[in-house]
A and B are shown apart, each in its own frame.
Chain A
Amino acid sequence: MALLPPKNRLWWNEPLHRMEIVWITIAFLWGIAMFSTMIWWHIYGEQNLSNESYRILPDVYAERVDVMIDAYQVGEDEFGMPIVRPPVGSDIYLQARLWDWSPILELVEGESYRLHLSSIDWQHGFSLQPTNINLQVHPGYEMVVTLTPNAAGEFGIVCNEYCGIGHHLMTGRINVLDREAALAAGMQLAAGE
């Protein structure tokens, strides 16, 4: 029993029972299968993080966000948050700060964008809903990931890393236009139908 010394002092020389061998083999192979699945998904799956990231000073990042906003702003919401419609395929910037996500980005369904994410103060959590994409946002690090929205509509951004007393106020939005609306608005689309 577990509270007494093993009968066989050389416990590592004991034979294995068949049931044990079978289960250990299954469990081990299952581990290998799960390991391989992650690699397989990197090759064939369509939801992977890039390995692209940079160190960046918060004010340098804030400046890049401003440059993009200046170039492509199309309006603002009722509280003065800029609404930005960057060209399809371009580099787009989202800034996390206590306690908002700026700007509101307008993207087009089926088009790809290089999304840059960083914080200019504390850590925040980028949680895009309802599609359910959750990424960690650090100050001093810029993450780049190529995103392709698969549906039109309004998507909420929630902060899901605790960032102080205003944490639950920290929201943002991404609008995804459907392709007709984008064409009607005179946008150039890259992806073919």
Chain B
Amino acid sequence: MASIAVPGRQVAEERFRTCPDTGLEVHAKAETLIRVNVLTAVVFLAVGGLFGLLIALTRWQAIHLLPAEWFYLLLTAHGAAVLIFWIMFFEVALFYFTSAVVLNSRLATPMIAWVAYVMMLVGALVATVAVLQGNSSVMFTSYPPLQAAPHFYLGLILFAVGMLLTCFIFLGTLVVAKDEGTYEGSIPLATFGGLTGAIIMIFTLASGAIILIPTYLWSLGIISTIDPLTYKLVWWGLGHSSQQVNVTLQVVVWYTIAALVLGARPLSEKVSRTAFLLYILFLQLASAHHLLVEPGLSSAWKIFNTSYAMYLAVLGSMIHGMSVPGAVEAAQRRLGHTKGIFGWLREAPWGNPAFAGMFLSLVLFGFLGGISGVILGTEQINILMHNTLYVPGHFHATVVCGTTLAFMAMTYLLIPIFFQRDLAFPKMAKWQPYVFGAGAAGISLFMMGAGTLGVARRHWDITFTDALISFDYPATAFFMLGLNGLSALVAAAGGVMYVVVVFGSVFAGKRRTAAEAKSNPIAPGAVALRTYGSEGTLKLPGTIVLVSVFFIAFALYYFINWRFLAGIWTMS
């Protein structure tokens, strides 16, 4: 395959190679950084996932595995290890991929990228150690007046500063690529998405600094109090916006995998890019929907901020929710899979774990995570769900079924591209997205189910055996938690498969040669398609059916929840 001409490359001493699979020019220093950040992420996922399993087995009352202190401790560690460390280390790799690699450029300031890596790693380890030492079981949200050991906050701050550096390296690389003319025209969609993520990330980390630095000083005794409501308001500027970064990069991964595997092009660049812009524009007070049943904030404020800040960002996601399957359908039809409405879907490469993971992520994120998130973020309906297991049910659908599954799928392309190894245990890899996806969908659904019955989140014992006043949750709630435990076992099995495939491939996979890239391509789409541009007009009946089903499910479930609400005590 022809490599892209790289006009005007000036920095002669930088080492590049042409990736035989994708034709991209890969900067050696960027490649090493991508490898290291991906592997670090996977280690945190492995550890954090194990904690998740132990927690789920504790909430399964028949097993009730951990003692209370360990439950709260590992719950804190689980949230930090997976939500923050796994995802963000992986996002660093995606930042470098969507800037340097996609633009055929060198990475700006690799030295600083290493500094950032070390800061993030040290920060993550310090915070994790603080939690494991036992005096910082404050959950990853660390709401005051609950107080952790000072080094817990310090670790998080260090991690955040490192992450901030990576955002600037991303921006710097865009400048370098433009100056050195490594691409022509506008930046590609994947880079555009990465840019969206980096901009939101900077906003996110600024909020984090504004709130975590005073909290750190408070834990040292230098500041006497932190207002709990102000803390929450600003903290969720960090906590929620970072989820918007996750969504953004997960969508980038969807487009990227569809492009590499099938040669899919966005239906229209304009629509897809505008959808990313909506994420940036309508995020400012996204913390509002975490504060819907809080005292001291008016309904007008809550409604306004959840609506403009959320529904317009939701609009962005609904657009991607059409344009990604649309791009897949269009590509499949172009490749000749044109039978009926769903022939393109039936004949999709379901045996390719990158594609399977990507498509499962798309469907599960939309149907489970997206819909439940909007319901949860409705001012009055939140009364039914605030701090119940519905909340972790919802975000396991977004951040596990959606982001984690997408990142796992992406790994199956990153390994051959950047480690130049074939996947070890290809059979296991083939099944992995299905096993993990089923388990993750299970924990999401069953936690939402228990939450609908009112079961509290972050709670060690819902039988209240030792409480003075007892209360009985319905038997169905216990049944849901049992099913949740079973699903956790399935998800954990999927997690182990992933870790085995990743480390097996990286350390013992067969070296991938250029010849093999031809005979056994991992990115046939890249070979099939070296032309620019959007998909032309095509009839996409399958996508129309999919989004229609989605919309009907959304609307029905929305109204069901208003019915639930109408059944509770009246309040005004």
**Would you list which residues of chain A between 121 and 179 have a CB under 8 Å from chain B?**
121-123, 125, 127-136, 138-143, 145-150, 156-165, 167-173
In the complex, how many angstroms separate the beta carbon of B98 from the nearest chain A beta carbon? 9
Contact of B456 among A7, A13, A79, A160 (CB under 8 A): A160
Is the pair B468, A123 in contact by a Cβ cutoff of 8 Å? no
Decide yes or no whether B425 CB sits under 8 A from chain A: no
> Can you give 16 contacting A-B residue pairs, CB < 8 Å?
A1-B266, A2-B258, A3-B256, A3-B526, A5-B186, A7-B532, A8-B533, A11-B273, A46-B570, A48-B299, A129-B454, A136-B294, A148-B570, A156-B471, A168-B462, A172-B469
Is the pair B532, A5 in contact by a Cβ cutoff of 8 Å? yes
Contact of A165 among B72, B260, B459 (CB under 8 A): B72
B124-161 interface mask toward A, CB cutoff 8 Å, 1 = contact, 0 = none? Answer: 00000000000001110001011000000000000000
Q: What residues of A have a CB within 8 angstroms of the CB of B271 in the complex? A: 16, 20, 24
Is the pair A148, B571 in contact by a Cβ cutoff of 8 Å? yes
Is the pair A3, B303 in contact by a Cβ cutoff of 8 Å? no
Is the pair B295, A79 in contact by a Cβ cutoff of 8 Å? no
How extensive is the interface on chain A, given as a class? 35 or more
Is the pair B295, A53 in contact by a Cβ cutoff of 8 Å? yes
Contact of B227 among A53, A133, A140, A163 (CB under 8 A): A140
Decide yes or no whether A41 CB sits under 8 A from chain B: yes
Given A123-B145, A125-B386, A167-B460, does the pair A41, B270 have CB atoms closer than 8 Å? no
Decide yes or no whether A31 CB sits under 8 A from chain B: yes
Q: What residues of A have a CB within 8 angstroms of the CB of B255 in the complex? A: 2
Q: What residues of B have a CB within 8 angstroms of the CB of A39 in the complex? A: 303
Is the pair A131, B569 in contact by a Cβ cutoff of 8 Å? yes
CA distance A56 to B571 in the complex (A): 22
Nearest CB to that of B323 among chain A residues? A20
Q: What residues of B have a CB within 8 angstroms of the CB of A163 in the complex? A: 146
CA distance A11 to B268 in the complex (A): 8
CA distance A130 to B193 in the complex (A): 44
CA distance A71 to B506 in the complex (A): 73
CA distance A110 to B102 in the complex (A): 65
User: In the complex, which of the residues B271, B315, B382, B385 has the most CB atoms of chain A within 10 Å of its own CB atom?
Assistant: B271
Decide yes or no whether A26 CB sits under 8 A from chain B: yes
Is the pair A2, B256 in contact by a Cβ cutoff of 8 Å? yes
Q: What residues of B have a CB within 8 angstroms of the CB of A38 in the complex? A: 303, 306-307, 378-380
CA distance A180 to B69 in the complex (A): 46
Residues of A within 8 A of B (CB): 1-9, 11-17, 19-20, 23-24, 26-28, 30-32, 34-35, 37-39, 41-42, 45-51, 53, 55, 77, 79, 81, 100, 104, 117, 121-123, 125, 127-136, 138-143, 145-150, 156-165, 167-173
B263-296 interface mask toward A, CB cutoff 8 Å, 1 = contact, 0 = none? Answer: 1111111110110000000000000000101111
How extensive is the interface on chain B, given as a class? 35 or more
B83-103 interface mask toward A, CB cutoff 8 Å, 1 = contact, 0 = none? Answer: 000000000000000000010
Interface segment out of the listed B44-52, B440-448, B485-493, B558-566: B558-566
User: In the complex, which of the residues A7, A28, A172 has the most CB atoms of chain B within 10 Å of its own CB atom?
Assistant: A7
Q: What residues of B have a CB within 8 angstroms of the CB of A140 in the complex? A: 227-229
Is the pair A6, B529 in contact by a Cβ cutoff of 8 Å? no
**Would you list which residues of chain B between 96 and 113 have a CB under 8 Å from chain A?**
102
B525-560 interface mask toward A, CB cutoff 8 Å, 1 = contact, 0 = none? Answer: 110011111100100100110010001001100100
CA distance A79 to B469 in the complex (A): 9
CA distance A169 to B307 in the complex (A): 37
Ranked 7 nearest A-B pairs via Cβ: A156-B471, A7-B533, A31-B311, A143-B295, A160-B456, A7-B532, A53-B295
Decide yes or no whether B259 CB sits under 8 A from chain A: yes
Is the pair B468, A171 in contact by a Cβ cutoff of 8 Å? yes
Is the pair B558, A34 in contact by a Cβ cutoff of 8 Å? yes
Nearest CB to that of A22 among chain B residues? B544
In the complex, how many angstroms separate the beta carbon of B544 from the nearest chain A beta carbon? 7
Extra inter-chain contacts (12) besides given A2-B252, A81-B468, CB under 8 Å = A11-B186, A14-B268, A19-B543, A24-B315, A45-B565, A47-B569, A79-B468, A129-B454, A130-B474, A131-B569, A134-B387, A162-B458
Is the pair B534, A135 in contact by a Cβ cutoff of 8 Å? no
Decide yes or no whether B189 CB sits under 8 A from chain A: yes
**Would you list which residues of chain B between 452 and 511 have a CB under 8 Å from chain A?**
453-454, 456-462, 464, 466-474
Decide yes or no whether B374 CB sits under 8 A from chain A: yes
Decide yes or no whether B62 CB sits under 8 A from chain A: no
Decide yes or no whether B187 CB sits under 8 A from chain A: yes
Nearest CB to that of B314 among chain A residues? A31
Contact of B146 among A51, A122, A133, A135 (CB under 8 A): A122
Is the pair A160, B388 in contact by a Cβ cutoff of 8 Å? yes
Nearest CB to that of A31 among chain B residues? B311
Contact of A34 among B102, B268, B296, B374 (CB under 8 A): B374
In the complex, how many angstroms separate the beta carbon of A185 from the nearest chain B beta carbon? 21
Contact of A3 among B137, B190, B323 (CB under 8 A): B190
B173-201 interface mask toward A, CB cutoff 8 Å, 1 = contact, 0 = none? Answer: 00000000001111111100100000000
Q: What residues of A have a CB within 8 angstroms of the CB of B469 in the complex? A: 77, 79, 81, 100, 104, 156, 171-173
Decide yes or no whether B224 CB sits under 8 A from chain A: no
CA distance A55 to B396 in the complex (A): 35
Q: What residues of A have a CB within 8 angstroms of the CB of B379 in the complex? A: 38, 49
Q: What residues of A have a CB within 8 angstroms of the CB of B227 in the complex? A: 140
Nearest CB to that of A10 among chain B residues? B186
Q: What residues of A have a CB within 8 angstroms of the CB of B63 in the complex? A: none
